[in-house]
Structure 1
């Protein structure tokens, strides 16, 4: 039986329409449909930013939801240099889905399109943190979906928790939205732009370390040093530390130059070398991260020139006559009673043996 031409057209339309409907929308249309129309307007307001977002350098977009941006229209058609950097900071160079981002512990870092001169031309990074909220006391269930998805303000689920500048956290509340150039994740706020070591120390409450920077006259130097990892002793740690160490020496023992080690880069047994040549050993115990025995209590404070981690210890030096090691290694556990008993028994038997051998020789 021959089909009528109109029937053939309808059949072809039925075959092709599902494929056509699966074509991802453009970036702007996808943002508007997902509740990020204000961010879409910001992107469109500046030709430089729009060109970036339409290029292959952007494959993952972190778009703030309208409710956190506000409804006031843009008064200018061109963004300032700092606004362009902030817009570029919201985009990543690799495609990252919720599944791939949540797969590893303690998380991963993503390179954004905010080019950072103090990172030697590399893009500034954001850090996905897949640890539980109480990172100083994790449980065996920390990688479960129930842990990775928590309530934010009692309304929206946090699908990913992301650290940016000043230790601020942004939550992905809607993810894996396809567009014709990649993936969109809707967030509950903008990422916070990274700042200097001194500004970050002050803003995150580590004022004692900031004071040491000032006393050592190293504030400006360390703020502009390329690619550093810094371990910031907390104020509580300083308050219990009989500080007789020169400020410059103390600061240099907490700064690791030439490397940027976010928490996902720190491995159990790895070793870092400080500015003064001291050795810092990393250990991971029950999901907690230690640096020469000092517990990292707040990780991934993204800096303009690297990253900082807060530690709970400023220990006495191991050998004050020659050099100071500020972060002290964890002491070995004491011998057990059973081990002590065996040791004493061995000594007793040896003494008896020596006694009888002596008598035989004298005889």
Structure 2
């Protein structure tokens, strides 16, 4: 019996897809031909790392070019745990093209294959930043795919800007290279592995907030908390505030526990709850992001246990509204009142 027309079409499409997949290069072949041969050697130098890249869990690879980073120091020996994390951090399970990554402002979030115990065992994130250089007046022109943009100075354009640990930016310089397991993007260096809040604050120059953590003896508490968002007041902001509040309260006023809010997650009108149960309101004006009136001047500093954003003022959260006796009575449910009435009725009948 001849196959039905629809079945024949599906069969032909399946054969074509299979042939196309077989014609694509392997990941190692694509890396070598794209100028990332040292990264190819890196992932092949350790069986555990190579197994990850061949497991089907990798849809997108971000590989440092041979020019961008020299891996010669790790070749020819077994990889350490740190080396394996670095390799896992360079890959994402999702298949992400340049065009899909460039469609939205302020960007998008990618979950990598680097598992973080302080994020509930989920993959550590990197954040693609699609905001224009001039944040005061983003235009529709910026909404076009990033790979169509060009730098005026004639240098190699950054096709995507990606934020990782310590606030470091890695640039995609060649992208959308297909291989038989997904897509490959060539970068100008490694993603920087996330570190603790205190290390990140020191590394990014926010030494005054690092001092608050130390003086309040809250460093280990905040850094061991699962899934946090921290708003880091700049040194200038802390110096100008002359706040008389205890250091421990100043810290807790800037920490959101149980919620990792990368910049693309923040929406105009969002309310975030601090560790003390008070409120911080997000507002977006002319493409700029504010928290209770404080401008986010540096976003997406990826932490071991979440994310931090630098703000230009010491934040004063909105206090939680206390529940009064009258409010408690007024909030009693109708079901509760009905239950009381029934109970009283049964007592009368008895």
Superposed CA RMSD in Å reads 2.3
Partner of 2:173: 173
Q: Could you tell me how far apart the structure 1 residues matched to 2:28 and 2:40 are?
A: 6
Q: Are the aligned partners of 2:280 and 2:317 in contact in 1 as well (CA < 8 Å)?
A: no
Within-5 A mapping of 1:12-27 = 23-27=23-27
Partner of 1:82: 82
Partner of 2:267: 267
| Deviates most, 125-134 or 299-308 | 125-134
Partner of 1:140: 139
Q: Could you tell me how far apart the structure 2 residues matched to 1:206 and 1:153 are?
A: 32
Matched, 1:182 2:182: yes
Partner of 1:10: none
Aligned-pair CA distance for 1:133:
2.5
Q: Could you tell me how far apart the structure 2 residues matched to 1:168 and 1:271 are?
A: 28
Gaps of 5+ in 2: 1-15, 323-350
Partner of 1:341: none
Length, aligned pairs only: 302
What secondary structure is seen at the aligned counterpart in 2 of 1:39? Answer: helix
Q: Are the aligned partners of 1:60 and 1:94 in contact in 2 as well (CA < 8 Å)?
A: yes
Aligned-pair CA distance for 1:152:
10
What secondary structure is seen at the aligned counterpart in 1 of 2:212? Answer: helix
Aligned-pair CA distance for 1:70:
2.5
Aligned-pair CA distance for 1:75:
4.5
What secondary structure is seen at the aligned counterpart in 2 of 1:69? Answer: coil
What secondary structure is seen at the aligned counterpart in 2 of 1:68? Answer: coil
Q: Are the aligned partners of 1:131 and 1:142 in contact in 2 as well (CA < 8 Å)?
A: no
Shift of the 126–316 alpha-carbon distance from structure 1 to 2, 3 Å rule, reads closer
Q: Could you tell me how far apart the structure 1 residues matched to 2:98 and 2:90 are?
A: 16
Partner of 1:202: 202
Partner of 1:38: 38
Q: Could you tell me how far apart the structure 2 residues matched to 1:90 and 1:283 are?
A: 33
Q: Could you tell me how far apart the structure 2 residues matched to 1:315 and 1:157 are?
A: 37
| Deviates most, 69-78 or 205-214 | 69-78
Per-residue CA distance 1:286-308 (angstroms, 9 max, x = gap): 11111111111110000000000
Shift of the 75–296 alpha-carbon distance from structure 1 to 2, 3 Å rule, reads closer
Mark the structure with the bigger radius of gyration. Answer: 1
Gaps of 5+ in 1: 1-15, 323-363
What secondary structure is seen at the aligned counterpart in 2 of 1:156? Answer: coil
What secondary structure is seen at the aligned counterpart in 2 of 1:48? Answer: helix
Partner of 2:330: none
Aligned-pair CA distance for 1:242:
1.4
Q: Could you tell me how far apart the structure 2 residues matched to 1:144 and 1:307 are?
A: 26
Q: Are the aligned partners of 1:132 and 1:142 in contact in 2 as well (CA < 8 Å)?
A: no
Partner of 2:159: 159
| Deviates most, 21-30 or 108-117 | 21-30
Shift of the 147–313 alpha-carbon distance from structure 1 to 2, 3 Å rule, reads farther
What secondary structure is seen at the aligned counterpart in 1 of 2:104? Answer: coil
Aligned-pair CA distance for 1:146:
8.9
Aligned-pair CA distance for 1:20:
6.6
Matched, 1:299 2:306: no
Partner of 1:244: 244
Q: Could you tell me how far apart the structure 1 residues matched to 2:309 and 2:141 are?
A: 21
Shift of the 29–275 alpha-carbon distance from structure 1 to 2, 3 Å rule, reads same
Within-5 A mapping of 1:329-344 = none
Q: Are the aligned partners of 1:128 and 1:161 in contact in 2 as well (CA < 8 Å)?
A: yes
Q: Could you tell me how far apart the structure 1 residues matched to 2:30 and 2:318 are?
A: 59
Per-residue CA distance 1:153-192 (angstroms, 9 max, x = gap): 9531110000000000000000000000000000001000
Partner of 1:102: 102
Shift of the 208–150 alpha-carbon distance from structure 1 to 2, 3 Å rule, reads farther
Shift of the 47–292 alpha-carbon distance from structure 1 to 2, 3 Å rule, reads same
Q: Could you tell me how far apart the structure 2 residues matched to 1:71 and 1:153 are?
A: 30
